[in-house]
Amino acid sequence: MTEHRKLYPAYDAYQTGYLDTGEGHQIYWELCGNPKGKPAVFLHGGPGGEIANYHRQLFDPERYHIMLFDQRGCGRSTPHASLENNTTWHLVADIERLRQFMGVEKWLVFGGSWGSTLSLAYAEKHPNSVSELVLRGIFLLRPQELHWYYQEGASRFFPEKWERTLSILSEEERSDVITAYHKRLTSEDLHVQLEAARLWSLWEGETVTLLPSTSSDFFSENHFALAFARIENHYFINHGFIDETQQLLDHIDVIRHIPAVIIHGRYDMVCQVQNAWDLAKAWPEAELCIVEGAGHSFDETGILHQLIRATDKFVGK
């Protein structure tokens, strides 16, 4: 049996800085790997997540030149947890600015979960800027996907965790969880915001892996949870700022010529495997990898193996 591929050994960024968007946001970025290597950009999840040092290790540092950044309002970007001028299309513009700053014509775009959404939106807007796509845990921002995770679906598999999520809501509010949480996450009372943020964030932190993981503790930490919950909810109540219900699928012809790998866990409770299947059906040229015995998280053994295989494949290893 083939040994599963693992993260590359840890390595540091060689340069960091902030991109001034001119719209009140400062975007933290870092460059790492080989400046003469294949250009790539890593798009983190959420919306409202952040980059971590181990995300660099998805790429061979001798063969890749990697840009990683914290999206607007989260991680080390400022202002923290800000919703102003924070939409999908603002982020798409930020990615393109970072490409130009890096001085590359094209780059490999790597995104998981919300990062896969953003990768598709960016590629469809700037197809000439993308050399390849590595997409994991596909999320297409369709109404049924939000309904599955925040109303009826995933809750049936995690009833005790969902009951905790609903605990601050009235019976009436429970018919529209995203809206009810939005009221609390945008409250003028920081204590109300934090209570809602921790519960919203922990729901995701405890359902992203097939088996329980101690990494979920990070999701309830105040600084992370506030940005994660406020920004994610802000995007979801606004339907991702995408006008058409199936916009990302309907515009797939724009990018079908771009080499791509689609990776999805069979038992992903955050984003159902149907999402990956629908994307692959619309994009038959892409390689689809459904990983057995895996959930949503990138670092589950089978998913991580396929991600490293994909980045190695596109760099010619």
Active site residues: 113, 268, 296
Alpha-carbon gap, residue 4 to 303, rounded angstroms: 10
Q: What are phi and psi of 149, to 5 degrees?
A: -90, -25
- Cα–Cα distances in Å, from 9 out to 40, 54, 61, 62, 66? 18, 9, 9, 11, 15
The neighbour count for residue 212, using CB atoms within 10 Å, is 9
Catalogue the E-assigned strands of 72-229: 107-112, 130-136
Q: Which residues contact 235 (CB under 8 A, 6 or more apart)?
A: 47, 48, 87, 88, 114, 241
| Pairing mode of beta strands 107-112, 130-136 | parallel
Joined together, the tokens standing for residue 154 give 């995933």
Residues pairing with 136 in the sheet: 112, 263
Which residue type does 125 have? K
The answer to whether 46 touches 231, Cβ cutoff 8 Å, is yes
Which residue type does 190 have? L
Cis, bond preceding 212 (omega within 30 deg of 0): no
Joined together, the tokens standing for residue 237 give 């109540």
81-95: b (≥16 Cβ within 10 Å) or e: bbbeebbbebbbbbb
Joined together, the tokens standing for residue 308 give 């490293």
- Which has the closest alpha carbon to 32: 19, 47, 49, 17? 17
